[in-house]
Structure 1
Amino acid sequence: MEKVKLGTSNLNVSPIGLGTMAFGRWITEADSDAILTHAVNSGINLIDTADYYGPGQDEKPAYGDGTSETIIGNWLSHNPGARSKIVLATKVGSNTNPVMSNPTLSREHIRQQIDSSLERLQTDHIDLYQAHLFDNGTPLAETLTTLSDLVDEGKIRYYGVSNYSEYQLKLALGIIKDRRLNPLTSLQNRYNILSNHDDSAVLKLAQRSHVGFLAYSPLARGVLTGKYLNGAMPANSRAAQGEPLIKEYFNDADKKAVSKLKTISDDSGISMSQLAFAGVLSIPGITTALLGASKVSYIDDAIKAAELQLPQSVLTQMKSL
């Protein structure tokens, strides 16, 4: 796959990235290793994780134990040539304490977590370190200054933010400019053909500001593959395993949209998942779509989607979903 520049950084990333939220949560370490190996061998170089990802996400209160980072770190240690081939991204700011549900992006917390992430990932630097969500309890300037300082110290190469609204991104960009901090490299937000109206304003701001955009959940947590059509509930699917975030897509409007996508797929001969991926990647300003693969075969399907040039007639139909 042809690589594209992420924002104004020197990071060249694949249009399909590998999201690892399920590593150690629903996917064993052995299967995670196979997915990582196949992804990198297939040309995917952006590996995205978080200090929050792991089985603790399904507890109450939800917390992260860094299992996903640990699995990736173990894989890197067994594949010593892989580190130089990948852009390693992780996040900070979601709850990592099983007895506390009040995450923070304070200077103290970030500095604790960066060292823990580096240890779990078995690396001396992180290519892209991202604030996982906006923290209303910490001054934004404190968060951004800390991230910028980590760039100067060499612990991270670049930093980004995730799950930011247009207003929040505008605030961040203003602080970075006023304080002459290292620039913001990327924004990672949900973006798919069911939810794109929610993020169109912040995407346009990111594009105008030369901030790269990483789109997570391009398949709407598997809904856009068609696996849940007509009320189906496949065994071992995210919905069957009780993921709460998928429930928001089980509404009448989205069900109708998925049915329409199935018709477009049948008429065009392009799979629903490939249409969903290609549709996201066709939108100006989106750098990379993140695939949460649970099987090696899903990687091949996503790569095919990245190479598609959808006919204008198909794009027009998809915009009407």
Structure 2
Amino acid sequence: MDYSHLGRTGLKVSRIVLGTMNFGELTDEKASFAIMDEASEAGINLFDTADVYGGPQSPDMEKGFGVSEEIIGRWLAQNAGRRDRVVLATKVYQPMERGPNDKYLSAYHIRRACEASLKRLQTDHIDLYQMHHVDRTTPWEEIWQAMEQLVREGKITYVGSSNFAGWDIATAQMTAMSRNMLGLASEQSLYNLTQRTVELEVIPALRHFGIGLIPWSPIGMGLLGGVLKKIEGGRRASERMRQQVDKLRPQLEAYEKLCADLGEAPADVALAWLLHNPVVTAAISGPRTVEQFRQNLKAPSLRLSDQTLSKLDEIWPGPGGEAPVAYAW
């Protein structure tokens, strides 16, 4: 397994992240344990979860919230040495109870949410505590005060963000710097060959501040995983997936042909394309089964030629560069 620094920090993480959003909802505990065993044996050291994972992510508060963290906690508790081999990442923001202060990024909620995550994960510290979404109703001074307190108490080590706009990243980082804090170590964004909007402003902001990018949905919810071949082979697809396939069919046909010509699996090519970007620290693999997980392990060692990268840009064109050059010059 290859490793890279988490942004500008000294922490090294595997270039494939084990995403655990399916744990407890689509993947039962036994299968989740098997996936974590496999990940650990493969050298993957960054496990990503969220307090809300494990059930329907809805403020209706159906049973299931926190289950992913609980499953990870029970896996860690099986072996005393596991915790020290894992860079454990979770998130805060989503509503976890019905009260008015049981969500978002107030200092009140951050403190209580962190304590609850620590309990579910059966650990005394979280290595990367990520803000799941931006909260523009809470001042950054309050958010950073809460995070600083958790760092001081040894309950978290690094702070990350997720789903932030470029100007949110800049605002957050400048406020942190004014407090002599490290600020953000990483950002999780939607980024794949079919979704390249972050190239306009998010990626330039991350590069400027030395913040690592961890793309989620790297294979486009399955679109980049050889969807045409799978459907032709009899795989059932949801109505939404069929609509996307119909919309993108010419590009998908060209993409899967290119992958076939390369002799590589489409999912591996999609992940490898992301890992060629120097701003990208690691890409998330969110498997439902061990077999799905194993399919993603080749990507860090797959090197794509300049010709292949250019061809991928032709098939899946981005926004035209970075802002404002992409649209104003």
Tell me the TM-score normalized by structure 2: 0.88
In the alignment, does 2:129 pair up with 1:129? yes
Paired AA for residue 259 in structure 1: E
- The residue that corresponds to 2:81 in the other structure is 81
* CA displacement, residues 158-185 of structure 1 (integer Å, 9 cap, x when unaligned): 1111100111111111111222233321
In the alignment, does 2:228 pair up with 1:234? no
Change (3 A) 1:90 1:176: same
Distance 2:82 2:242 in 1: 37
Q: CA deviation at 1:54?
A: 1.3
- The residue that corresponds to 1:24 in the other structure is 24
Which structure 2 residues correspond to residues 88-237 of structure 1 after superposition, within 5 A? 88-97=88-97, 103-227=103-227, 234-235=235-236
Is the Cα contact below 8 Å between 1:63 and 1:95 reproduced in 2? no
SS at match of 1:105: coil
- The residue that corresponds to 1:300 in the other structure is 294
Q: CA deviation at 1:107?
A: 0.3
Paired AA for residue 34 in structure 1: A
Greater alpha carbon shift after TM alignment, 145-154 vs 21-30: 145-154
Which structure 2 residues correspond to residues 231-310 of structure 1 after superposition, within 5 A? 234-235=235-236, 240=238, 250=244, 253-310=247-304
Distance 1:152 1:248 in 2: 50
- Structure 2's unaligned 5+ residue stretches are 317-329
Is the Cα contact below 8 Å between 1:9 and 1:158 reproduced in 2? no
Is the Cα contact below 8 Å between 1:220 and 1:249 reproduced in 2? no
Match 2:307 to one of 293, 313, 317 = 313
Change (3 A) 1:60 1:179: same
Change (3 A) 1:63 1:184: farther
Is the Cα contact below 8 Å between 2:61 and 2:96 reproduced in 1? no
* CA displacement, residues 11-43 of structure 1 (integer Å, 9 cap, x when unaligned): 210000001111001100000000001011101
Change (3 A) 1:18 1:230: closer
* CA displacement, residues 248-295 of structure 1 (integer Å, 9 cap, x when unaligned): 982655443322211111211111111101011111210100100112
- The residue that corresponds to 1:9 in the other structure is 9
Distance 2:80 2:308 in 1: 43
Is the Cα contact below 8 Å between 2:286 and 2:293 reproduced in 1? no
- Structure 1's unaligned 5+ residue stretches are none
Tell me the TM-score normalized by structure 1: 0.90
Distance 1:59 1:134 in 2: 17
Paired AA for residue 15 in structure 2: P
Distance 1:159 1:21 in 2: 20
**How many percent identity over aligned positions?**
35
SS at match of 1:186: strand
Is the Cα contact below 8 Å between 1:194 and 1:254 reproduced in 2? no
Change (3 A) 1:248 1:64: farther
Change (3 A) 1:103 1:231: farther
Q: CA deviation at 1:310?
A: 1.1
SS at match of 1:185: strand
SS at match of 2:144: helix
Distance 1:144 1:59 in 2: 25
* CA displacement, residues 26-68 of structure 1 (integer Å, 9 cap, x when unaligned): 1000000000010111011100000010113268577961100
Distance 1:303 1:271 in 2: 11
Q: CA deviation at 1:218?
A: 0.4
Is the Cα contact below 8 Å between 1:226 and 1:272 reproduced in 2? yes
Greater alpha carbon shift after TM alignment, 75-84 vs 255-264: 255-264
